[in-house]
Amino acid sequence: MDVFFQALWGGTVVGVTYAVLALGFTLIFGVLGVLQFSHPQIFVAGGFVGYAVQTLVGGGLPVVLPATMIACAAIGLLVERVAIRPLKQSSFLAPAIATIAAGIAIQNIVIVVRGPDPVSFPPLVPPADLQVGGVTLRSAEICALVVGVLVMAGLHLLIHSTRFGQAIRATADRPDVARSFGIDTRLVSVTTMALASALAGVAAVLLASVYGTLSPFMDTSLGFKGLVIMVVAGLASVSGSMLCGVALGVLETLLSQYVSPAYRDVFVWALLLVVLVARPTGIFGRRVVTKV
Partner 1 sequence: MVDGLNVRYGGVHAVRDVSLTARAGRITALLGPNGAGKSSLLNAVMGLVPTDGGEIAVTVDGAPRSLTARSAPARARAGIALVPEGRGVFGTMTVQENLEVGGYLLHGRRARAARAAELLDQFPRLGERRTHPAAALSGGEQQMLAIARALMTKPRIMLLDEPSLGLAPVVVRDVVEIIRGIARDGTVVLLVEQNSHMALELADHAYVLSAGRLVYDGDAAGLRGAGQLADLYLAAPGAG
Partner 2 sequence: MDYYEYLVALAAVNGLIAISYQHVLSSGIMQACQAALVGVGAYASAFATRDWDWPFLPSLLLAAAVTVALGVPLSVLASRLGEFFFAIATLGFAQVLVVVLYNSEQAGGAVGFVGQPTATTAPAALTFCGAALALLAVLQNSGYGHRSRGTAADPLACSALGIDVNRHRVVVFALGSALAGLAGGLYAHLVGVLVPGELGFAATVTLLVMVVLGGITTPFGTLLGAVVITLLPEVLSASDSVRLLIYAVVVLVLMIVRPRGLVGRRPLRAPAIEAVPAAASAVDRPAGRLEVSGIAKAFGGLQVLRDVGVVLTPGEIHGVIGPNGAGKTTFLNIVSGLETPDAGTVVLDGVPATTAPPHARARLGIARTFQHTRLFPELTCYENLLVAAAAPGRSGPVRTPWASRRDAARRAVAMLHRFGLAAVGDVPAAALPYGVQRRVEIARALVTRPRFLLLDEPSAGIPEEEIPALAALVRELADDGIGILMIEHNIPLVRQLCDSLSVINDGIVVTTGNVEECLSHPATVAAYLGVPEVSGA
Residue number with CB closer to partner 1 (131 or 180): 180
* Structural contact between residues 159 and 171, judged by C-beta atoms closer than 8 angstroms: no
Q: How far is the CB of 172 from partner 1 (least distance, A)?
A: 8
Asked if 243 touches partner 1 (CB under 8 A), the answer is no
| Burial of 185 from C-beta contacts in 10 A (0-12 / 13-18 / 19+) | middle
Stretch that binds partner 1, among 94-102, 147-155, 176-184, 210-218 (CB under 8 A): 176-184
Stretch that binds partner 1, among 55-63, 100-108, 167-175, 265-273 (CB under 8 A): 167-175
Strand pairing class (135-138; 119-120): unpaired
* Structural contact between residues 97 and 43, judged by C-beta atoms closer than 8 angstroms: no
If we measure between CA atoms, which residue out of 17, 13, 208, 46 comes closest to residue 120?
A: 208
Q: Which does 182 bind (CB under 5 to 8 A by kind): partner 2, partner 1, none?
A: partner 1
Cα 240 to chain center, whole Å? 13
The CA dihedral of 169, 174, 177, 181, to the nearest 10 degrees, is 10
Stretch that binds partner 1, among 12-20, 178-186, 213-221, 252-260 (CB under 8 A): 178-186
Positions touching partner 2 (CB under 8 A) are 37, 82-83, 86-87, 90-91, 93-94, 97-98, 100-105, 107-109, 111-112, 116, 220, 223-224, 227-228, 231, 235, 262-266, 268-269, 272-273, 276-277, 280, 292
Q: How many CB atoms lie within 10 A of CB 108?
A: 13
How far apart (Å, rounded) are the C-alpha atoms in residues 251 and 230? 16
Q: Which does 105 bind (CB under 5 to 8 A by kind): partner 2, partner 1, none?
A: partner 2
Q: Which does 170 bind (CB under 5 to 8 A by kind): partner 1, partner 2, none?
A: partner 1
Asked if 129 touches partner 1 (CB under 8 A), the answer is no
